Amino acid sequence: MRGTDKTLKAETMGKKAPKPIDLARKPRGFPDKREALIHAEQAMIERITGVYRRWGFEGLDTGAFEYTDALGKFLPDEDRPNAGVFALQDDDDQWMSLRYDLTAPLARFAAENWQTLAKPFRRYAAGPVWRNEKPGPGRFREFLQCDADSVGAAGSHADAEMIAMAAEAMRAAGAADGEFAIRVNTRQLLNAVLDGVGAASAEVRLTILRALDKLDKFGTSGVADLLGAGRMDESGDFTKGAGLDVDGVKRVLAFAEAGRETRSDTLEALGQAVGTSESAQTGLAELKAISRALEAFAAPEADVVFDPSVVRGLEYYTGPVFEAELLKETVDEDGRTVRIGSVGGGGRYDDLVARFTGQKVPATGFSVGISRLAAAFAISGEIRALNGPVVVLNLDREDPSEALRLASELRRAGLRAEAYMGSSGMRPQMKYADRRGAPAVVMVGEDELAKGVVTIKDLKEGARQAAAIESNQEYREARPGQFEAPRAELVARVRAIVEADQ
């Protein structure tokens, strides 16, 4: 150990030691969260899981780590399997990774406990997931998801249930009518189109799917380039295309743009665009069955639309796929128009559990991206700062007992309150209360104790009144928002201020 210390010292000689402030840095993609966002995300999870519970799903927590080879998507292909996931070695030299979603752990759990589970196994889960990918606006390396899945449920009616429930979950999360849509497609129709244009290799098929996924971003002409020879962006970077001929490009675009105002009209347009192959007929039959079930669920046309351009990225989807999109545009603090887009998705994945059991097990599920959705609401100003606690000022530095007593009384009454714990004077204490977002401060000095009263300052009302006062002298004389109240009325008067500002 001493030798190691000497080596480290030798290696660092001649290098400047980092300044303390330089150590206060954070890895990208791991956001710090203040109370307003934490509260908003927790409330959102509670509302969404409330929907899942009403639909008959039960909670499950599988923990943060899974063995890497159990995750499926990111199997280790080198000494350290950290492509896409955060991995480390267990004490028995097995690689384990932080979960990248909540579905792969569910498949492992279902396979382990299949004999004892009620089937289908309907579970919901909420919690953080981690992806070792490049972060960007609205995209994090650590983020919250809230899922519901039905393992062992075959049939399009089970997919339709997920879709209808996803729409209800979006409303519970805070999206209003017209502000979201659940967009639905099926891999069977995608396969029919890919086969129809002769896309035989996995590379070409993936390139076509990625091009379709860019329809909203690049438009018809941009996607046409990506389906053909390729596309050059504004910076001069060139993206190689799928290499389809003109007829192939037209066929793919005709499919992608077959969406219509209603689900029935879209089905009719799709029937003309996808041909008569077995995959095409299977896909159309799936969407028709989903459409009938959605009518039984009374799912509005605006909530759920059939959209042939929807392509889910995860490889394990085998049938219908769906994506929750936030439609409304917002303006950020810099005046830029922002549209978040996709905030959730899911689909049918009949092969995932089979990785563990060797037997096909039908499954379908949906996931809401809580962090992404909360970020969208934060940009639009719908997540506002929460009121802080009522602050009882400490006016007796030698004996703060009265301040402690008052704060305790307020808390026993169910109010959020604290006694100031610093050693500063009146003005810094008031500044502290303001920075905490306190709705009110309570003051008891010698005068108040002698008269049996408390002095209460309504900070929000005081700020409103102060806006109309023109001089400092008038402000000092008026003391806006400040009043005395009998000691026995402390709780009632403070409660009135807190409730008025909620």
Give the chain's domains with CATH numbers: 35-64+99-197+246-379 (3.30.930.10), 390-500 (3.40.50.800)
Question: Confidence class of residue 460 from pLDDT cuts 50, 70 and 90?
Answer: confident
Task: Provide the phi-psi class of 298: left if phi over 0, else alpha when psi is between -120 and 50, else beta.
Answer: left
Higher pLDDT, 410 or 276: 410
Question: Confidence class of residue 235 from pLDDT cuts 50, 70 and 90?
Answer: confident
Q: CA distances (Å), 41 to each of 33, 234, 254, in order? A: 10, 37, 40
Residue 215: what pLDDT?
A: 87
Higher pLDDT, 124 or 376: 124
Report the SS3 class of residue 149. strand
Q: CA distances (Å), 159 to each of 109, 309, 322, 453, in order? A: 21, 18, 9, 64
Q: CA distances (Å), 381 to each of 48, 298, 331, 345, 386, in order? A: 21, 32, 9, 24, 13
Residue 470: what pLDDT?
A: 56
**What is the end-to-end Cα distance of the chain in Å, rounded?**
59
Tens of pLDDT, residues 414-441: 999 999 998 899 999 999 999 999 999 9
For the cut 80, the answer to whether the pLDDT of residue 315 exceeds it is: no
Supply 121's token pair.
Answer: 């196994």
Counting every residue written for the chain, the total comes to: 502
φ/ψ of residue 81, rounded to 5: -80, 70
Peptide bond into 120 cis (omega under 30): yes
Q: What is the dihedral of CA 334, 331, 48, 66, to 10 degrees?
A: -40
Can you tell me which residue has the tokens 């909540």? Answer: 102
Highest mean pLDDT among 42-56, 211-225, 260-274, 341-355: 42-56
Tens of pLDDT, residues 337-381: 777 788 999 999 998 888 888 888 999 999 999 998 888 888 777
Residue 171: what pLDDT?
A: 95
Burial of 54 (C-beta count, 10 Å sphere; 0-12/13-18/19+): exposed
Angle of the 156-173 helix axis to the 278-296 helix axis, nearest 10: 50
For the cut 60, the answer to whether the pLDDT of residue 298 exceeds it is: yes
Whole-angstrom distance, CA of residue 118 vs CA of residue 98:
28
For the cut 80, the answer to whether the pLDDT of residue 78 exceeds it is: no
